[in-house]
Structure formats: structure tokens, C-alpha cells
């Protein structure tokens, strides 16, 4: 791996996130990786402004559906590179994923028409409090 100036990187990222670093400000957690290694992980601002809980690299956020667009973009990039096929079932790449009675493809999952049950609704029906 080529050398990274960690001090310069952190200063640059700190400058980008300065408005989130103030006390009483909602913020963000960031992670920067290069060649499979974490080169910077840092939190800015507060996870709970009311309770003054700072954000750290280990803060868990409820991001819900925000990840879908990034996941689909990554899948499409891999398909374009020939590393996967959109007509394949997800279990080909995630063998621990349980099979469903109806076959599903990556393409169907990317288009949100896989026929898979609504996961959050199943959790609610099972008594989970998602608030």
C-alpha cells in the first residue's frame, strides 16, 4: 500500500465536517478505507443532542432504506465488470441467505420486486418495537 499522510487526511476531513463537530450539533460518523485497510474512522457531533451523546466510529445509526441505492450501485458495478450476473439468485453470493419458496434474482431485488416479505412488518408482527 502506498503511503498516506494520516495527519493531512485527518485535517482535511476535519475541515469538511467542522460544522458537525460543534457541541449540540447532530453529526456523522465516517470511515475511509484504502486497499482493505481502515485509514481513518471518526465521529463528529452528537448522536443524541438531547442527552449529549457524542458520535464515535462505533455509533450505530438507523439508516433503513438509505443503503439500498449504494448496494444497487455496487451490484451494478460488479455486473458491469462481469463479477456477478443479475439473473443469479442472491444465495450464489450469500450462501447463508435462506431460500424462499419463490426463486428470486439479484435483478428483482435491485428493482424491489422480489416478492420477499416486508422485513420490518414481520418484526412488528413479532412484537419488536422499532421506534
- Residue numbers annotated as active site: 65, 68
CA distances (Å), origin 44, targets 60, 81, 123? 13, 35, 31
Q: Map grid coordinates 422499532 to a residue.
A: 130
Asked if 85 contacts 79 with a C-beta cutoff of 8 angstroms, the reply is yes
Alpha-carbon distance of 131 to 29, in angstroms, equals 21
Alpha-carbon distance of 77 to 82, in angstroms, equals 9
Convert 65-104 to b/e letters by CB count within 10 Å (16 or more is b).
eeeeeeeeeebeeebeeeebeeeebbeeeeeeeeeeeeeb
Amino acid at each position: 500500500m502506498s503511503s498516506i499522510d494520516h495527519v493531512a487526511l485527518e485535517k482535511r476531513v476535519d475541515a469538511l465536517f467542522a460544522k458537525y463537530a460543534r457541541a449540540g450539533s447532530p453529526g456523522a460518523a465516517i470511515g475511509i478505507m484504502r486497499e482493505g485497510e481502515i485509514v481513518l474512522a471518526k465521529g463528529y457531533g452528537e448522536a443524541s443532542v438531547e442527552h449529549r451523546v457524542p458520535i464515535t466510529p462505533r455509533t450505530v445509526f438507523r439508516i433503513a432504506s438509505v443503503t439500498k441505492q449504494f448496494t444497487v450501485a455496487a451490484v451494478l458495478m460488479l455486473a458491469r465488470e462481469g463479477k456477478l450476473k443479475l439473473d443469479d439468485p442472491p444465495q450464489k453470493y450469500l450462501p447463508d441467505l435462506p431460500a424462499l419458496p419463490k426463486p428470486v434474482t439479484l435483478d428483482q431485488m435491485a428493482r424491489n420486486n422480489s416478492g420477499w416479505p416486508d422485513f420490518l412488518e414481520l418484526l412488528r408482527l413479532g412484537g419488536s418495537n422499532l421506534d
